[in-house]
């Protein structure tokens, strides 16, 4: 952490895609919060989609949430192997698209479980949490 309490990935001009990707590869899920309207974003932006404000502060996102939507990719891009599932996860303050490590259904609870890489670009990976 820096003196301001912000993760070291966001020093300088704030959270950029390169820093977000590096944090993801290190197992840290970052987002941004608008200082003007408190809207939380799951990926780096330069302008808040809620109010068009530019005062975006880097925050750590919750690491578990609920699957809001899911689909299975049956015809995969070259190099990704067999079919896989992606889903939109409600993390509380924001929603994030990610790859699922397990078969999940809408309403399942999932936890952040690292990343998947495609063409040198990481994306968040989630795993189903045990029920019961």
- Cα separation, 29 vs 120, in Å, equals 18
- Cα separation, 123 vs 51, in Å, equals 26
pLDDT of residue 7: 55
Which tens digit of pLDDT belongs to each residue from 13-53? 578 889 999 999 999 999 999 999 999 999 999 999 999 99
Which of 3-7, 44-48, 106-110 is predicted with the least confidence, judged by mean pLDDT? Answer: 3-7
pLDDT of residue 13: 57
Average pLDDT of 111-126?
A: 91
Task: For residue 18, give every residue at least 6 positions away whose Cβ sits within 8 Å of its Cβ, in sequence order, or none.
Answer: none
Of residues 72, 66, 78, the one with CA closest to residue 108: 66
pTM of the model: 0.84
């Amino acid at each position: 952490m820096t003196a301001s309490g912000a993760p070291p990935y966001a020093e300088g001009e704030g959270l950029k895609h390169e820093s977000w990707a590096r944090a993801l590869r290190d197992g840290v899920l970052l987002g941004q919060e608008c200082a003007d309207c408190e809207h939380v974003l799951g990926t780096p932006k330069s302008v808040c989609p809620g109010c068009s404000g530019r005062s975006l502060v880097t925050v750590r996102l919750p690491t578990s949430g609920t699957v809001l939507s899911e689909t299975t990719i049956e015809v995969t891009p070259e190099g990704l192997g067999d079919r896989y599932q992606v889903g939109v996860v409600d993390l509380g303050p924001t929603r994030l698209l990610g790859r699922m490590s397990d078969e999940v259904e809408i309403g399942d609870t999932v936890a952040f479980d690292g990343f998947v890489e495609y063409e040198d670009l990481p994306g968040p990976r989630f795993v189903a949490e045990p029920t019961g």
